[in-house]
Amino acid sequence: MGTMNISLPETLKSFVDQQVSQGRYSTSSEYLRELIRKDQDRLRLRDLLLSGGASASGAPANASYFESLRDRVRKSPKSGAQE
């Protein structure tokens, strides 16, 4: 695992310390790793949304579409809902 030293204004350091002291995180490093992971997820979602917005329109997702989707999931070997 790599190491990174960062400088924070006292107000931000106090906030991080508070998150750790409240038991939400065991260390300040854990807190920062979680923030970075969430930002990565946010960026992935943003990219997916932009990609979807730029793609051609498909058929509308109406009640029939969702019922068909439920049927496929029910029949899927992984669903565990086979009869």
- 3-class secondary-structure state, position 72: helix
Give this prediction's pTM. 0.65
Percent of the chain with pLDDT over 70: 94
The pLDDT-based confidence of 3 (bands split at 50, 70, 90) is: very high
User: What's the farthest any 2 CA atoms get from each other in the chain?
Assistant: 61
| Per-residue pLDDT, 83 | 47
pLDDT tens readout for residues 37-72: 999 999 999 999 999 999 998 888 899 999 999 999
Instruction: Give me the half-sphere count of Cα atoms (radius 13 Å) on the Cβ side of residue 62.
Output: 3
